[in-house]
Amino acid sequence: MAGPGNGDELSRLQERIDRARAAQTPRQRGAAAQIGQAHAAWRMVVELVTGLVMGFAMGYGLDALFGTRPVLLVVMTLLGFAAGINLMLRTAAEMTAKQNRDAAEADDPGEGDEGRG
């Protein structure tokens, strides 16, 4: 349970976080942004490749099971590709929403501090 002193501790912690962020050089902030972009790019690549591999594997297995060698392999690989593209688009939308939220918070930093103090 939250004690009566937790609000003060949280305020002090938030102040320390704000000071640490303000102390970062623009180069450090740029490096952090580049790492985040690289992470997102790799995530998208992995999603696409996973969709392709899963579609290929399921198509190959179904072809072996039913004896329709190239048909289901091609169909399931294309469906896996479509699923990978769908995941990539969803990830891009998620990243855009996060950037919009971060930009909105940067424009109005005092909005979340109304209950304090």
pLDDT confidence band for 111 (50 / 70 / 90): low
Higher pLDDT, 18 or 5: 18
Helix and strand numbers (H, E) in the chain are 3, 0
Burial group, residue 80, by CB count within 10 angstroms (0-12, 13-18, 19+):
buried
User: CA dihedral defined by 53, 44, 86, 84, rounded to 10 degrees?
Assistant: -10
- What integer pLDDT is reported at residue 76 of this predicted model? 97
pLDDT at 114 over 60: no
pLDDT in tens, 83-95: 999 999 999 999 9
pLDDT confidence band for 22 (50 / 70 / 90): confident
Mean pLDDT of 56-75: 95
Q: Give the Å distances, CA to CA, from 17 to 33, 60, 63, 93, 102.
A: 18, 53, 57, 28, 16
Q: How many whole angstroms separate alpha carbon 85 and alpha carbon 51?
A: 8
Average pLDDT across the chain, whole number? 86
pLDDT in tens, 34-48: 888 889 899 999 999
Question: Residue 74's closest CA among 52, 95, 90?
Answer: 52
User: Are 33 and 69 contacting, i.e. CB atoms less than 8 angstroms apart?
Assistant: no
- The share of the chain scoring above pLDDT 70, in percent, equals 86
